[in-house]
Homo-oligomer: A and B are copies of this chain.
Amino acid sequence: MSEPTLLVLQADPPPRLGKLTGRVRVSYADEQSLAAQLPHADVLLAWDFTSDAVRLAWPGDGPRPRWVHTPSAGVDRLLCPELAESDTVVTNARGVFEEPIAEYVAGLVLAMAKDLPGTLELQRQRRWRHREGLRVAGSRATVVGAGPIGRAVAATLEALGITVAVVGRTARGAIHGTEDLDRLLARADWVVCAAPLTEATRGMFDRRRFALMQPSARFINVGRGPLVVEDDLVAALNDRVITGAALDVFTSEPLEPDSALWDVPGLIVSPHMSGDTVGWRDRLGEQFVDLYDLWEAGKPFPNVVDKKRGYVPMHD
């Protein structure tokens, strides 16, 4: 039997694939050549997870990869109706980003509670101005998104003494369903968005939902940019409907230098980095090799995307 063909949609060279040497024929595509190469690949590693090329180039019901892996948590850039309808299996990077993102969110919560942005600005101005921080223990967070990222965020915030409610699509166990969302937004000191981007969640944080939040509330988005109606968030901050926000993801990335978002009072802007800690690319490469071992052995993947829902369902 000849080796399977692994097609890599390349940004930078994937590291840690050495163990696949001799087991696959590797070819590389860029956004332009992807459409021509997809029909000849058994496996697609969509290493450039910031690209829309897979969705645009997907060959419909023609010859196509049997397995597509994306080294990201979200699969929104990848999925198209034809891929969703097909029997091609899609896997994601579950397991790599959860804990780093949870730490990042905890860092944002503490930084906002203690006004670290204000401290750094005063330092720049060489001004000594004492202020009072907030306690985070005893405060309330509502985490929207009941996947592994939302759950890791909840666990880390709980470790800091914060009372956390997690909201998913449907209620199960300690997870609240969408029907509780508005009520839980209204009582949260911290609202953290860690939801997948699907047609059901697009634009869910809009003018109406910001208006439900407390004037003292802070909003953090580590999910996907289009979950938030950015103009509505800007208005909510400018009009002091809420006190603060931090966005790590945006409708358009990278954010253009002339974007209005850079300069909104109370808004922290970071460049889609919440999950990326030193060595993350190595871990993503290693994860793909581990998955490849399973694929080759005909064993089930632990992280198969439900292509209709647009995320990997939790089994609880």
Contacts and interface: CB of A to CB of B under 8 A. Distances in A.
A276 B132 contact: yes
A139 to B, nearest CB: 11
A171 interface: no
A61 to B, nearest CB: 37
Interface residues of A, number: 53
Interface string A94-127: 0000011001101110110110110111110011
B104 A114 contact: yes
B257 A130 contact: no
Contacts of A280: 132
A277 B132 contact: yes
**Number of copies of this protein chain within its complex:** 2
A129 interface: yes
Interface of A: 99-100, 103-104, 106-108, 110-111, 113-114, 116-117, 119-123, 126-137, 156, 159-160, 253-255, 257-259, 262-263, 268-274, 276-280
A278 B134 contact: yes
A9 to B, nearest CB: 19
Nearest to A109: B107
A110 B108 CA distance: 8
A156 B114 CA distance: 15
Contacts of A128: 253-255, 271
Given A107-B107, A119-B271, 5 more contacts: A100-B133, A103-B135, A122-B271, A131-B273, A132-B273
Contact of A107 (B111, B120, B262, B276): B111
B268 A132 contact: no
A271 B103 contact: no
Contacts of A271: 119, 122, 128-131
22 contacts: A99-B135, A100-B133, A103-B113, A103-B133, A104-B114, A104-B133, A107-B113, A110-B110, A126-B262, A126-B263, A127-B257, A130-B271, A130-B272, A131-B271, A131-B273, A132-B273, A132-B278, A132-B279, A133-B277, A134-B278, A156-B160, A159-B160
